[in-house]
Amino acid sequence: MNLFEDRQRAITEHYEDLITRTNEKLPYGNGIYDRYKYPVLTAEHAPLIWKYDFNPTTNPFFAED
């Protein structure tokens, strides 16, 4: 495999792990709202197609745009 494919695979695996993990309820709260371990939405949750150019010719190092 080349650098582009290795980096694409690693970043895609990390993204899939992020969006498929379950959120854990924390034991403390205020009685009205439950608190959770992971934030609901962060910049990492943005789809990869929004952040990366998947064309190896124009982005040979799979760098973030």
In a domain, 56, yes or no: no
Q: Specify if 37 maps to a domain.
A: yes
Distance CA 32, CA 51 (A): 37
Q: What is the pLDDT along the chain (65 residues), one digit of tens a residue?
A: 699 999 999 999 999 999 999 999 999 888 899 999 998 899 999 999 999 999 999 999 999 98
pTM (two decimals): 0.81
Within-domain flag for 29: yes
Q: How far apart are CA 38 and CA 17, in angstroms?
A: 13
pLDDT of residue 49: 96
Residue 64 lies in a domain: no
Number of domains in the chain: 1
pLDDT at 29: 81
Range of the domain at 11: 3-51
Distance CA(54)–CA(32), nearest Å, equals 44
Residue 59 lies in a domain: no
What is the pLDDT at residue 63? 94
CA dihedral 5, 6, 11, 13 (to 10 degrees): 100
